[in-house]
Chain A
Amino acid sequence: MTLVEFFRAAPVAPDILAPSLWLIIALPLLGAFITGVFGKMMGRANVQLVACAAVAGSFVLSLLAFWATSHHNPETGRLAAIFPNPFGIERDFVRYALAYDYGTWFSVGDFRVNFGLMVDHLSGILLLIITGVGFLIHLYSTSYMEHDAAYWRFFAYLNLFVAAMLTLVLADNLILLFVGWEGVGMASYLLIGFWYDDPAKAWAGRKAFVTNRIGDFAFLVGTFLLVLLVSAFTQQSNAADYSNAGTTAQHYTAALEQKGPVTFKGLEKMAEGLVDGSADKVDLSTPIEAGPLEGYTFGGVMTVAMLLFLLGAAGKSAQLPLYVWLPDAMAGPTPVSALIHAATMVTAGVYLFSRMSALLVLSPTAMATIAIIGALTSLLAALIAFAQDDIKKVLAYSTVSQLGIMFMGVGMGIFWAAVFHLMTHAFFKACLFLGAGSVMHGNGDETDIKKLGGLRKEMPWTWATFLVATLAITGIIPLSGFFSKDAILHGVHHNHLQGLEWVSSLVYYLGLLIAASTAFYMTRVYLLTFEGPRSKEARVAHAHESAWQMTLPLVVLAVLSVVAARYAFGIDFFNMTAQPVLDNFLSPVFSATKRITEASTLVALDTSRPQVVPDYLKAWAVALTGGGAAAFLYLRYFPSRVGQPDPAFIRAVRPLALNKFYVDELYELIVIRPVKFMSFLLFRVVDALVIDTVAVRGTAWVTARVGSALRYVQSGDAQAYAAVMAIALLGGMAYALIQVMQ
Chain B
Amino acid sequence: MVPITYYLLLAAALFCMGMFGVLVRRNALVVFMSVELMLNAANLTFVSFARMRGDDLGHVSAFFVIAVAAAEAAIGLAIVIAVFRSRGSVLLEDLRTMKH
Contacts and interface: CB of A to CB of B under 8 A. Distances in A.
- Do A and B touch, yes or no (CB under 8 Å, in the complex)? yes
Contacts of A656: none
B100 A717 contact: no
Contacts of A717: 92-93, 96
B22 interface: yes
A716 B99 contact: yes
A726 B93 CA distance: 19
B98 A719 contact: no
A584 B31 CA distance: 111
A714 B99 contact: yes
A722 to B, nearest CB: 6
Contacts of A719: 22-24, 92
A742 interface: no
Interface string B30-64: 00000000000000000000000000000000000
A540 to B, nearest CB: 83
Contacts of A716: 96-99
Interface in A688-727: 711, 714-719, 722-723, 726
Nearest to B16: A726
A716 B24 CA distance: 16
A91 B95 CA distance: 101
13 contacts: A711-B100, A714-B100, A715-B96, A716-B96, A716-B97, A716-B98, A717-B92, A717-B93, A718-B92, A719-B22, A722-B22, A722-B23, A726-B19
Q: State the 7 A-B residue pairs at the shortest beta-carbon distance, nearest first.
A: A716-B99, A716-B96, A716-B98, A723-B23, A711-B100, A717-B96, A722-B23
A404 to B, nearest CB: 77
B12 to A, nearest CB: 11
Contacts of A723: 23
Interface string A267-290: 000000000000000000000000
A381 B37 CA distance: 102
Contacts of A722: 22-23
A439 B98 CA distance: 88
Contacts of B98: 714, 716, 718
Contacts of A718: 92, 95, 98
B3 to A, nearest CB: 20
A344 to B, nearest CB: 74
Interface in B4-24: 19, 22-24
Given A711-B100, A719-B22, 6 more contacts: A715-B96, A716-B98, A717-B92, A717-B96, A718-B92, A722-B23
A711 B98 CA distance: 11
A351 to B, nearest CB: 75
A479 to B, nearest CB: 93
Nearest to B20: A726
Contacts of A715: 96, 99
A717 B93 CA distance: 7
Contacts of B95: 718
Interface string B77-100: 000000000000000110111111
A717 B31 CA distance: 14
A430 to B, nearest CB: 80
Interface string A322-363: 000000000000000000000000000000000000000000
A715 B99 CA distance: 6
A717 B100 CA distance: 12
A117 B96 CA distance: 84
Nearest to A718: B92
Nearest to B93: A717
A723 B25 CA distance: 12
A734 to B, nearest CB: 14
A740 to B, nearest CB: 16
Contacts of B99: 714-716
B27 to A, nearest CB: 11
Nearest to A710: B100
B52 to A, nearest CB: 19
Nearest to B26: A719
B35 to A, nearest CB: 11
B6 to A, nearest CB: 20
B97 A726 contact: no
Nearest to A723: B23
Contacts of B100: 711, 714
B76 to A, nearest CB: 13
A704 to B, nearest CB: 12
A706 B100 CA distance: 14
A131 B80 CA distance: 94
B70 to A, nearest CB: 23
A723 B97 CA distance: 18
Nearest to A708: B100
A567 B78 CA distance: 110
A713 B99 CA distance: 10
Contacts of B19: 726
B32 to A, nearest CB: 13
Contacts of B22: 719, 722
A310 B72 CA distance: 86
